[in-house]
Amino acid sequence: MRNSLQQFKLPNGADRSPDAAWIQRERWQALTPEQRRKFPPIAPDFVIKLRSATDDLQMLRSKMQEYMDTGVQLAWLINPQQQQVEIYRQNQDVEVRNLPTQLSGEDVLPGFSLSLSCY
């Protein structure tokens, strides 16, 4: 996982900083040490975005779609204000879950789960 201090240069040229991100080891190691240091030119495999009280939901949804369009395999938009999570997967419609207590990394990040019991 990378933290929100990490900014990625997506294949479309956009610079994005998800709240958390994960990249397969093989893909990360394919980058040069210099590329890894600053703004890695890569779309993560998995991203998490946590909506803050001041975030515009439509803008966040646009960014989530941008992540998917640039190769992210799985993305979660966690929306505490509405107590729901939007799950983005490649080539699938967005799934909206109300009051989920657990999320899974599915086949993108097997074995990873996130407890959301603090809504």
Percent pLDDT > 90 in the chain is: 85
pLDDT of residue 6: 80
Q: What is the mean pLDDT of the chain?
A: 92
pTM given for the model: 0.90
d(CA 81, CA 46): 23
pLDDT digits (tens, 9 = 90+) for 74-97: 999 999 999 999 999 999 999 999
Distances 107 to 5, 27, 33 between C-alpha atoms, Å: 26, 16, 28
36-49 tens-digit pLDDT:
988 899 999 999 99
Confidence of residue 4 (pLDDT cuts 50, 70, 90): very low
Confidence of residue 2 (pLDDT cuts 50, 70, 90): very low
pLDDT in tens, 57-77: 999 999 999 999 999 999 999
User: Is it the case that residue 3 has pLDDT exceeding 60?
Assistant: no
Domains along the sequence of the chain with CATH: 2-115 (3.90.1570.10)
Calculate the CA 100 to chain-centre distance.
17
